[in-house]
Structure 1
Amino acid sequence: MVTIDTDRFENTFRRYSQIGRTDDDGLHRLALTETDRNVRDLFVEDLESLGLDIRIDELGNIFGRREGTDPDAAPVLIGSHLDSQPYGGRFDGQLGVLSALETLRSFEDSGVDHRRPIEIVNWTNEEGSRFKPALMGSGTFIGEFDIANTLEHTDSDGVTVAEALKQIGYNGEESCEPREPYDSYLELHIEQGPKLEEAGLSVGAVEGVFGMAWLEATIIGDADHAGPSPMHSRRDALVAASDIVTSVRRLSNRVADDVVTTVGELEVSPGSINVVPAEARLTIDVRSYDDDAVAELVDRVEREITAACNRENVTYELEEIWRIPHTEFSPRVSQTVLDAAEAVGADHQAMVSGAGHDATYLNEITDAAMIFVPSIDGKTHNEAEYTEMEDAVAGARTFAEATKQLASRSDDA
């Protein structure tokens, strides 16, 4: 069984958490910013110290390779992402990368031999906060997104992904695609929900991920003076948008028990206290493990938008900006996680994830699964996000043991 250095693991987590740290002990480290460059530089230094073969692809995904005893064996890929939400938490994504890093450090310490090569990865723009869509690095890597199109995506200031990569010096020369088939992919992440904490468990073996759809609605009315314009003649885009926000919330659980619906962004223009809003833009996030439920919810959302706009005599434009079906992870890899948790003595259970992760896309090209550790009060994507270090260590131990088992596997096992 692999033994990780818990002091080193904790110290590394603290050191990385200083890069982009907020006053409230959160993390503000948006993809391809100067702060992201700083943490990438540290990550590359740590990979170099292990003597790994490092490569950076054209989308800035960073890989480090530790060779196995069989140079022809398909590699095991491990990792997560280092970018964060705006004023988010320290654990989301980062904990997965650092668990993978500690795994390779522990293998080096103990002289662990493994048949298959192991590659550690930091995926670019997993969060989708600065550039849409989310899971950009892994999605482009597996061919879901076209690289030329991805590089032309812009942030709110009009900066393209290509320009941002060049600015921080991470526009690599490698093609953003697999160089060879992978045996498996394993990712550790915080749960971002309350189930493990409520059950008093340290580790979740994730067997699948919800399907989801992202919509963007633009409501178009007329600007008018807030004083003299009569109420009956107004075409108020914000009133219609407000009705839509409420309707989307009420749609949750009407189609399936696990459905969740969210309006996460709302922008109003012209944005003056004494002007009737002429336009409102809002985003809608719909999720369920049942793909048919997601499809039905998307249809219902559009009907609610139509009804709200008709009531206010305004028009709308609706765009589906992203949809991904639910994911069923590899039983082989998820069982390896369960076996590893048992071996290291971590209390555990099998579960599914309501949040999307890079493993969702990797599952399309190899056998993938995930390890979850608890999120206190289920909080995530804010500065209050927290995981007890005891649970983080249990997850890292499970991760290291599972990685060893996967990398030691023969082709016929």
Structure 2
Amino acid sequence: MNFPQVNGHRLLRRIQELGQIGCLPGGGGTRLALTDEDKQGRDLIVGWFAEAGASVYVDKIGNIYGVLGGSVDTPPIMTGSHIDTVSRAGFLDGCYGVIAGVELLQAIGESGLTPDKPIAVTVFSNEEGVRFSPDLLGSRVIAKDIALDEALAVETRDGKSFQSELQRIGYAGEIEPWKFIPESFLELHIEQGPVLEATETQVGVVEALQGHSWWQVEIVGCANHAGTTPMHLRKDAGVAAMQLACRLQEYSALDHLPNVTTVGTFALEPNAVNVVPGKAKFTIDFRDSDDGQLRKADALLQSEVMKLQEQGFEVKLQTLSKAMSVKFDEGLCSLLQGVTESIGASNRRIVSGASHDAQMISRACPSAMLFVQSSKGISHNPKENTPDDDLVLGAQILANAMWTLATSKS
């Protein structure tokens, strides 16, 4: 079979070019969803889609599609990821998968080949969930995990709605988010973990993905003078919050309930050196590949909150995001392994600890993911890095797998 051959130089140049949008002094960059920087990134991708000869569409939640028609009218074979980032991020997370998809489209055009089935590359809106919560918003709408109207009404902390910001940056599309439900979906990504590098393996075929449960915890006690309030008469919200956070971490570390627990943000009020904190607010991120363990962790959190309430603290719990664990399609995983082995690259099956749009799209069609190494397992960090050869290798494996699917008669 003749496969489209990716242009490694162009792939790497475009990764660097997109990475310049939102770059910060001292390294890294910030390109939060629906900001001016996100608009610049979107505009750049749209231009590349056009250069590759793809038709461009934008749906009502702001997902962008670059579509290359096939010789038969079927649902597309799709790949894609996201280009929004966390604050002070690296330049590969999400962006690599999108640009590899763009390179696939352009390589097909340059080869003079025509796929039997349409091929689509998607840029999903608000994968990271930093500016708008929940995360994975664009793919959640496609999977009908959240209603379109509800997603458009989501607001930033300063009251800007998703819909108004889409309109402001010019990406409030007209088509329904379900127009391009694919026949199959593959997502290429850096691992965001150390397993591949530690085992000296080039490629990870992702067979499963951990679910997550995110909570915001707010504890209200009583602010008072730090010097005049005896320890036994204090209702210190800060201490209560720290003890709760530590207990949840201990359950995870000692009993694997759940697999991992992270306290990602922590804030005290009035946040003064000489005042007993009257309010504490923090976030909890539970993750596990067993949904039962996630439910137990949620119940444990609620049980610990009741204990604090019995001690006289006011406690509020808010669910920020939930996603169940995913087992990816075995047929697609086997295809990715076969393609990888056919070009002589080492591989292993792997479970992803991070969330990805593929977990939502898997509800709508058979899906799978492919990982390349992440140096020292670092991601969401300016030091995020993957060797150039691995980036080109991953893009070629994706191209071969996508072409195999797009020319399959089944």
Settle same-fold status: TM greater than 0.5.
yes
Structure 2 gap segments, 5+ residues each: none
Q: How far did residue 19 of structure 1 move?
A: 0.7
Alpha-carbon separation, structure 1, partners of 2:21 and 2:15: 11
Superimposed CA distance per residue, residues 183-209 of structure 1 (whole angstroms, 9 cap, x where no aligned partner): 101111111111000111121111110
Q: Does structure 1 residue 20 correspond to structure 2 residue 19?
A: no
2:348 alignment counterpart: 349
Q: TM-score, normalised by structure 2?
A: 0.96
Aligned with 2:303: secondary structure? helix
Alpha-carbon separation, structure 2, partners of 1:18 and 1:167: 22
2:44 alignment counterpart: 42
Q: How far did residue 59 of structure 1 move?
A: 1.4
1:141 alignment counterpart: 142
Q: 2:70 aligns with which of 47, 56, 68?
A: 68
Alpha-carbon separation, structure 2, partners of 1:256 and 1:236: 29
For residues 155-194 of structure 1, the aligned pairs below 5 Å read 155-175=156-176, 177-179=177-179, 181-194=181-194
Q: Which amino acid aligns with 2:160?
A: V
Q: How far did residue 215 of structure 1 move?
A: 1.3
Change (3 A) 1:45 1:200: same
Q: How far did residue 263 of structure 1 move?
A: 0.8
Aligned with 2:57: secondary structure? strand
Q: How far did residue 22 of structure 1 move?
A: 2.1
1:394 alignment counterpart: 393
Q: Which amino acid aligns with 1:271?
A: N
Aligned with 1:252: secondary structure? helix
1:52 alignment counterpart: 54
The farther-off stretch of 355-364 and 382-391 is: 382-391
1:274 alignment counterpart: 274
Alpha-carbon separation, structure 1, partners of 2:109 and 2:181: 25
Alpha-carbon separation, structure 1, partners of 2:360 and 2:382: 27
Alpha-carbon separation, structure 1, partners of 2:240 and 2:143: 39
Alpha-carbon separation, structure 2, partners of 1:65 and 1:146: 25
Alpha-carbon separation, structure 2, partners of 1:179 and 1:154: 25
Q: Percent identity?
A: 34
For residues 279-318 of structure 1, the aligned pairs below 5 Å read 279-308=279-308, 310=310, 313-318=312-317
Contact 1:243 1:308 in 2 (8 A): no
The farther-off stretch of 259-268 and 269-278 is: 269-278
For residues 219-368 of structure 1, the aligned pairs below 5 Å read 219-256=219-256, 259-308=259-308, 310=310, 313-368=312-367
Alpha-carbon separation, structure 2, partners of 1:344 and 1:246: 47
Q: How far did residue 282 of structure 1 move?
A: 1.1
Q: Which amino acid aligns with 2:133?
A: K
Structure 1 gap segments, 5+ residues each: none
1:6 alignment counterpart: 8
Superimposed CA distance per residue, residues 13-61 of structure 1 (whole angstroms, 9 cap, x where no aligned partner): 1111111112233121111000001011111111111221111111111
Contact 1:255 1:297 in 2 (8 A): no
Alpha-carbon separation, structure 1, partners of 2:181 and 2:272: 55
The farther-off stretch of 76-85 and 329-338 is: 329-338
The farther-off stretch of 2-11 and 220-229 is: 220-229
Aligned with 1:248: secondary structure? helix
Aligned with 2:167: secondary structure? helix
Alpha-carbon separation, structure 2, partners of 1:400 and 1:165: 31
Alpha-carbon separation, structure 2, partners of 1:159 and 1:233: 42
Contact 1:124 1:136 in 2 (8 A): yes
2:124 alignment counterpart: 123
Q: How far did residue 121 of structure 1 move?
A: 0.6
Q: Which amino acid aligns with 1:298?
A: D
Q: How far did residue 155 of structure 1 move?
A: 1.3
Superimposed CA distance per residue, residues 137-196 of structure 1 (whole angstroms, 9 cap, x where no aligned partner): 100122111111111111122211112112211111222x21254210111111111100
Q: How far did residue 230 of structure 1 move?
A: 2.6
Q: TM-score, normalised by structure 1?
A: 0.95
Contact 1:255 1:293 in 2 (8 A): no
